[in-house]
Amino acid sequence: VFGCPFYQTFPAAKALPVVVLKGEILISHKDKKVTKYYTYLLPLYIVFYESKKAIKASDSLFLTGAAIEIENPQTFKLTKSGNSFSFTFDKPETMSLWSKAILNVIHNAARSLDKWRRQ
């Protein structure tokens, strides 16, 4: 099924060979408090774990159709289907690395989907 969270069916996201980035990030969503997650960026998903040693994912975000907006040098907001997630980093360089990687993932997914539709 297109968009199926494959990391729940197959090996944990951290075991997949396609991890783009990983690291601890402070994340807030709507009315939820700010929570530190060990986060994995995959080609179509961001997967959140309670800690680096956690086996089961806490949550995930499917990136197709998401938009990214820089809020300040250490924070960006990711919006998908009207839901916003704020990602806060310890250094501006780390925020820049993650925001660029996520933007690339979003664009690559959109290009691949368009190419597939044309074929």
- The pLDDT tens digits for 3-50 are 455 545 445 656 666 788 999 999 987 767 888 999 999 888 898 899
b (16+ CB within 10 A) / e for 85-109: bbbbbeeeeebeebbeebbebbeeb
Summarize pLDDT for 70-97 with one digit per residue, the tens: 999 999 999 988 888 899 999 999 999 9
Residue 59 has pLDDT above 80, yes or no: yes
Q: Can you give the pLDDT at residue 24? A: 94
Per DSSP, 33 falls in state: P
Residue 1 has pLDDT above 50, yes or no: no
Q: Can you give the pLDDT at residue 94? A: 95
pTM of the model: 0.80
